[in-house]
Structure 1
């Protein structure tokens, strides 16, 4: 993790081009998770506010699933992109519902491990 943080200035697309296997079968499994830790103009964490996710799919993505979490003036935002040849919108919606439940459980019980929260 520290190594990834030390290289956080390298664009994700560059990493994929550099390190992704050239075999299409292996390439089809690529998933990208990005957390953009850029401070907003103002930031308040008094109450948790959830907003509807915007789901985006693209036929020209180098990965099959990408989740980007970034800071905004209103808190953390999530952007999802996926390959519709691999995932249906129903599957993505289910994944986001489960992700939201995990985040809510983490906030409610920060002392528990992810395994404890999801079992």
Structure 2
């Protein structure tokens, strides 16, 4: 029960900064299109960084690389398709690149950062 509640709170906390605020009008940022592949890339990069920088935490939260990629890719796609969320394929791809080049010290300092 506690774990499910924690996941729900984490999802909401992570989704809120990505959501649009104050206007019902959509803003065209030019960053539109399918997000499934960028989300898969993001999931791979984030899982690899976590496995490299915090293997015990990785094992506890995900168990293995495939489970991690599946969970994070599904989460990214779900959150990215929520109404008002402004995270298109370019932004998600940029986030994946950030994880690819991140040192473990940087990963540790930004581990709980809701933004990429």
For normalisation by structure 2, the TM-score amounts to: 0.31
User: Relative CO higher for 1 or 2, CA cutoff 8 Å, sep ≥ 6?
Assistant: 2
Q: Which has the higher strand share?
A: 1
Q: Which has the higher helix share?
A: 2
Structure with greater Cα Rg: 1
